[in-house]
Amino acid sequence: MELFRTPEDMPGRQKTPDTQHNTDSMRTQFRVTDRQVKNLKAEEKSRIHYDEKLRGFGVRVYPSGRKSFVLNYYYKGRERRMVIGGYPEWTVLAARKQAEWFLVEIGKGRDPLEQRNNDRAAPTVQDMFERYEKDYMPKLAPRSAQDQRSMFIKSILPRLGSKKVEDVTFNDCEALHRHLTKDRPLRANRVIEVLRRAFNLAIKWGWLERNPASGIEKNPEQKRERYLSYDEIRRLLFELERHPQKTSCDAIRFILFTGCRRGEALSATWDQFDSELKVWTKPAATTKQRRLHRVPVSREVTKLLEVRKASAASEFVFESIRGRALTDIKKTWIAVTRSAGIRDARVHDLRHTFASIAVSQGQSLPVIGAMLGHSQPQTTARYAHLLDDPLVEATELISNKIIGALH
């Protein structure tokens, strides 16, 4: 490995195309110090002032007056120069130490300029998000994609965005989870799960070998089991009839009578419904499982659709005033539940209510799973305990009959 102080120290060396620094017209040598660098004046052409002691280390002064520390060296027979950093952002002492470290690396047969270029080319977490958004998010339901995009932009990228994917550690991910847990422990779990999924894809892309987000202990979660009682349903339907926002109210009523997800209802278009067969065919693009879901609709739903169809002005069943898909029913939901005296209830709880009523009417879990569009039996199994209620009632009824026979 050959090192040198200036190109003039290397007689007979052939100039190579990548050495644009050879256009520098003038070179000088002196002991590079902070005072010397500060006093260097700009000239018509760039000049490099090399250090007398540390070979190849110098400061380059541009015609504009800008100054930067450089290191000249030879690697595999080619003259190379790399910029260490600008002055005064870099002090002479810091630049000298960096140059010394580079020279040690060169002595070991490593090219620091090539390594720097490789580091710059290495994908960051920001790059991972952009590819994840392009390759994976289109496979998600629109609302899920929007939620995951928000997780990256608001929670992940501010802390990890500039970090190289291969440099992210388990401790980095754990620290992110711990930070988010302070305010929203359940959200922290969701963010880490999305990050873990993105890293899994990055492994497939060949960007890293291990997933740094795997194995993080999640915050305790308790499954939400909020079902509207029959009295609450009665009060809700009463308030829905009274509220002036008819489109939003119809959407809420539709969700209650079908057990569908909010996004499925709001993105529903007229061509998805077969009025003769009374069947709703949800396209894969709108379902959570990204699979076609065909489900029958009741007479009550058919009646609701017929009324809306009579005044329809767009392809969407629940259209906004601009003729697009309705996007917000939260305000209406808050208003009608408050008027109905219903507390701690979300729109998604209507889906749970639909399932709980199905169970109470003796429907099997496979049938309920088919109606709700569950792809995994364990998803529907959360309602299994509700099957005990009619059994308890039947047991008590039989017991009372037996006791009655004794009198």
Is residue 406 one of the residues assigned to a domain?
no
Q: Are residues 142 and 116 in the same domain?
A: no
Of the candidates 126, 143, 4, 24, the residue with the CA atom closest to the CA atom of residue 72 = 4
Note whether 235 and 384 are same-domain residues. Answer: yes
User: What SS3 class is residue 118?
Assistant: helix
Q: Is 234 in the same domain as 382? A: yes
| Mean pLDDT of the residues in the chain | 83
Q: Is residue 38 part of a domain?
A: yes
> Does residue 300 share a domain with residue 322?
yes
Examine residue 63 and say whether the peptide bond preceding it is cis (omega within 30 degrees of 0): no
Other CB atoms within a 10 A radius of the CB of residue 63 amount to 11
The DSSP H or E segment spanning 294 is strand 293-296
Statement to judge: residues 155 and 71 lie in one domain: no
Query: Quick one: 366 and 294 in the same domain?
Result: yes
Question: Whole-model pTM?
Answer: 0.51
Q: How many CA atoms lie within 13 A of 190 on its CB side?
A: 13
Task: Please identify which residue in the block is written with the tokens 């003259």.
Answer: 79
Type of residue numbered 42: A
Least trusted range by pLDDT, from 88-92, 278-282, 329-333, 366-370: 366-370
pLDDT at 376: 62
Q: In this model, does residue 395 exceed pLDDT 60?
A: no
The Cα 339–Cα 224 span in angstroms is: 23
Write down the pLDDT at residue 291.
72
Whether the per-residue pLDDT at 125 is higher than 90: the answer is yes
Q: Return the C-alpha torsion angle 390, 361, 364, 233, nearest 10.
A: -110
Asked if 260 contacts 374 with a C-beta cutoff of 8 angstroms, the reply is: no
**DSSP secondary structure code for residue 139 in this structure:** G
Q: How far apart are CA 242 and CA 247, in angstroms?
A: 12
Give dist(CA 313, CA 322) in Å, integer.
10
Q: What is the pLDDT of residue 53?
A: 86
Judgement on whether residues 114 and 135 belong to the same structural domain of the protein: no
Q: How far apart are CA 103 and CA 5, in angstroms?
A: 12
Same domain, 195 and 89: no
Asked whether residue 381 is assigned to any structural domain, the reply reads yes
Q: Is the pLDDT of residue 273 over 60?
A: yes
Strand partners, 279: 274, 296
Tell me what percent of the residues of the chain surpass a pLDDT of 90. Answer: 41
Decide which of 121, 139, 167 is a domain's last residue: 121
Encode burial over 79-107: b for 16+ CB neighbours within 10 A, e otherwise: bbbbebeebeebebeebbebbeebbeebe
Examine the domain organization and report whether 252 and 384 are in the same domain. yes
Domain presence at residue 221: no
As a whole number of angstroms, the distance between CA 192 and CA 207 comes to 19
For the segment 152-179, what is each residue's pLDDT rounded down to a tens digit? 999 999 999 989 998 999 999 999 999 9
> 105, 121, 137 — which closes off a domain?
121
In tens, the pLDDT along 31-89 reads 788 888 888 898 889 889 998 889 899 999 999 999 999 999 988 888 888 888 888 88
Instruction: Note whether residue 211 is domain-resident.
Output: no
Digit-coded pLDDT (tens) for 191-232: 999 999 999 999 998 888 899 999 999 998 777 678 888 899
Domains: count for the chain: 3
112 and 198 in a common domain: no
Confidence of residue 382 (pLDDT cuts 50, 70, 90): low
CATH number of the domain that 380 lies in? 1.10.443.10
Q: What's the CATH code of the domain at 87? A: 3.30.160.390
Q: Which residue has the tokens 């010397």?
A: 36
What tokens appear for 337 in the block?
Answer: 């539940």
Whether 72 is in a domain gets the answer yes
| Residue appearing with tokens 């990055």 | 202
CB 86 within 8 A of CB 68: yes
Residues 116 and 130 in one domain: no
Residue 401 included in any domain: no
pLDDT > 90? residue 378: no
Domain limits for position 25: 7-121
Whether residues 256 and 366 fall in one domain:
yes
Domain membership of residue 354 (yes or no) is yes
